Structure 1
Amino acid sequence: MMVFNVFGRTIGVKAAESGWKLYRVDLTENKHSPLRGYVIPPDVELNDLTQWLDDIFHEMATAENSEVKRLK
């Protein structure tokens, strides 16, 4: 699973048969749970995931958390 800091929230992205699945991630406890309500189209390429997350979650941006970064 790839893990991203999305404007201060830790979100995981995992490849699935239908494209990509999103997860809430707790790195301190090494746990994750499905993040429902979001669908990453299957044609989004691996290299485009950071931009896709930025486009979808940009409302969460703050002065302190103003970007999306891949953590792992």
Structure 2
Amino acid sequence: MKIFFNVFGNKMSVERKGEEWLLYQESDTSIRRRVYDIYIPSEIECDRLAQYLADMYHENATERFPSVEKIKP
């Protein structure tokens, strides 16, 4: 399962592999980079991922991008 988010203007994805969530930075050229400095606890439900990412990245909020939103790939 892969879920895409606009995290305060940055396209990111979260993928469930086994019992863990993996976070990736997405690009417009289809290159993705794993983000290792943010840990998403395995017990977080998929419907709470946007709030969790907002809590982790809230310093990046701007007037133009004030929130984290689930997006289509």
Moved more, 2-11 or 28-37: 28-37
Matching residue of 1:61? 61
- What corresponds to 1:24 in structure 2? 25
TM normalised by structure 1 equals 0.91
Consecutive unaligned residues in structure 2, runs of 5 or more: none
Structure 1 unmatched runs, 5+? none
Q: CA RMSD for the aligned pairs?
A: 1.0
- Paired with 2:19 and 2:38, the residues of 1 have a C-alpha distance of 13
Q: More displaced, 16-25 or 49-58? A: 16-25
Equivalent residue pairs, number:
71
Identical aligned pairs, as a percentage? 31
CA distance in 1 between counterparts of 2:7 and 2:17 reads: 20
**Structure 2 counterpart of 1:11:** 12
